[in-house]
Structure 1
Amino acid sequence: MIPDRRPLLLGSGSPNVTKVMIMLEEIDMPCHRVWIDVMKGEQREDAFLALNPNAKVPVFVDVVDGRDQVIAESGAILHYLAEQSAMLLGSSVRARTAVLSWLMFQMASVGPMFGQYLHFRFVSRDEPYALHRFTTEMNRIVAVIEGQLGRHRHIAGENYSIADIATFSWIRTMTSFPSDILEKPNMARWYADIAQRPAVARALEYAEEFASRDRERMVSATRAERDVYFSRPAPTDAGVQDAAPRAQI
């Protein structure tokens, strides 16, 4: 059971966790924030797996009718909080449909493709095909967003919504690396509008606390911890990497 019955957010400095932090500030919902040491593997421990068998952050635990309501997947958490607060989801079927469509676009395209680009750009640099593939796809996705923002003030239309929160968190992550993403005029205008929101500014302070701890752990991580975190094959006694695991289909 959650202490003093406030909701609980388990996470790291990931943009997927930042989304939820922003939403919590937008709807003014107090919560406990607990940093998960993903480099150590706390997300694979039994207590965490009981909440999310997928071993990923964020996980959000609310209290509903005296019982814990556990929600994994950042998009599902945003949707849940929007419904519970009656905020940032849209006031009509047409508006809600647009918001959910663009939220799913972020979940299915922006996050996965941007994440793979960053991995092959900075962690696994000896995979030219993978880097080319994900760079091309990332650029295509950015063009889609730029076009949408040329037609509308916000991602899902004229009103600010959870689709903006979800997308902003990943665009913000990309600005930490060499990128021309904010040279796109519509993207730059939209990004500046979101960044100056008071709730966003407050949430980013919490997000930076988690991100700082992530960076410290990355520096202090052992080779074995890094190999597990990045799903790299471990060296054998002979110094040769193990073969790739067999796919389970």
Structure 2
Amino acid sequence: MSSPDLTLYTDTAPNGVKITMALEYLGLPYKTVTVSISKLEQKEPWFLEINPNGRIPALVDNTGGKQKKLMESGAILLYLADKYDPEYKLSYPAGSDEYYEVLEWLFWQVGGLGPMQGQTLHFLHYCVSKSPEVRSYGVARYQNETRRLFTVLESRLALQKSTKSSPFLVGDHLSVADLACLGWVLADNFAGIASEDYPLLNEWQDMVSGLEGVKKGLEGYGIKKVGQDPELTKIASEYNSKWIKIQFEEQLKLGQK
């Protein structure tokens, strides 16, 4: 097989670090192009040619001279596992029980934990509405749902510990299911979720974050530290609120056309 020729388009966000963790853990060479979401570079024409949805991350694989463009973090994780993980370091053989369990938890994250926690962060820190009722309803709605989803993860880890003596979400080793969830769980305090309320989940995030490869893939992702420091939280909230407001206004303009 040709040496991998991979380019990752990303920024330091929960969905972006999923891919850097996977690439580093698998020991794959790759180039990184920073797409600054605070400057709305993800909406620029050059990036929309790579990912028409205008979101990070995106991956371009030019291995062997044949180009493949991928969007959506879950799809990228599955692609890397299928094509570049023959030793099943982050995956399980197709058709096995563990293979389908990985799919379950990966889809659970991209369809539930990510969107719900993302909305929690929006209403808690970046809401552009001047109505306190809108903000308080949004925070309560999405924060409560995020807590429910954290409880689901806590229960899963308890089951794994009791039945398989495993600290991972699926099977007996790290998988893309763990990596898909980790970036969001690390944002627990930033989302107003007390990590001490979920002891197994707290142990899991510390353990997985410290694994060789995963740790390197998380470099520059300081969401945990930000969430634990009120002053850093305030700074991050104010900074992100500015560009999110600009993006919101741009979306309103598009909707009026």
Query: Residue 45 of structure 1: CA displacement?
Result: 1.3
Show structure 1 runs of 5+ residues with no match: 235-241
The aligned amino acid for 1:228 is I
- The TM-score with structure 1 as length reference comes to 0.82
TM-superposed CA distance for 1:123, in Å, is 1.5
* Equivalent of residue 90 in structure 1, options 92, 100, 111: 92
Please give the secondary structure, in 1, of the residue aligned with 2:213.
helix
Is structure 2 residue 109 aligned with structure 1 residue 110?
no
Corresponding residue for 2:245? 227
1:156 CA displacement: 2.3
Cα distance in 2 for partners of 1:132, 1:116 equals 11
Q: 1:1-36, CA deviations, whole angstroms, 9 ceiling, x for partnerless residues?
A: xxx973101111111000000000110011111111
Structure 2 counterpart of 1:194, which letter? V
Q: 1:219 to 1:179 in 2, by over 3 A?
A: closer
Choose the corresponding residue for 1:181, options 173, 189, 195. 195
The CA deviation at 1:244 is: 10
- Please identify which structure carries the higher helix content: 2
Aligned counterparts, 1:1-249, within 5 A: 6-86=5-85, 87=88, 88-91=90-93, 92-124=95-127, 126=132, 127=134, 128-152=136-160, 153-176=167-190, 178-207=192-221, 225-229=243-247, 231-232=248-249, 245=255
Q: 2:63, 2:236 → 1: CA distance?
A: 35
In structure 1, how many angstroms separate the alpha carbons of the residues matched to 2:141 and 2:254?
21
Which residue in the other structure is 1:239 paired with? none
Question: 1:216 offset after TM fit, Å?
Answer: 9.8
For this pair of structures, how many residues does the alignment match? 230
Cα deviation for residue 39 of structure 1 reads: 2.1
Provide the identity percentage.
27
What does the per-residue CA deviation read over 1:163-220, in whole Å, with 9 as the maximum and x for residues that have no partner?
A: 0001111111224454312431211221122011011111112545xxx9xx999877
Q: Is the 8 A contact 2:126 2:241 kept in 1?
A: no
Looking at structure 2, the residues matched to 129 and 195 of structure 1 have their Cα atoms a distance apart, in angstroms, of: 33
Deviation of 1:227 (Å): 2.0
Q: 1:19, 1:74 within 8 Å by CA — same for their partners in 2? A: yes
Checking the alignment, whether the CA contact within 8 Å between 1:113 and 1:138 is kept in structure 2 is: yes
The TM-score normalised by the length of structure 2 is: 0.79
RMSD: 3.0
Distance 1:44 1:163, change over 3 A: same
**Structure 2 unaligned regions, length at least 5:** 161-166, 227-233
Deviations 1:208-248 (A, max 9, x none): 5xxx9xx999877895x44233x2589xxxxxxx89947x9
1:7 to 1:177, Cα distance in 2 relative to 1, 3 A: same
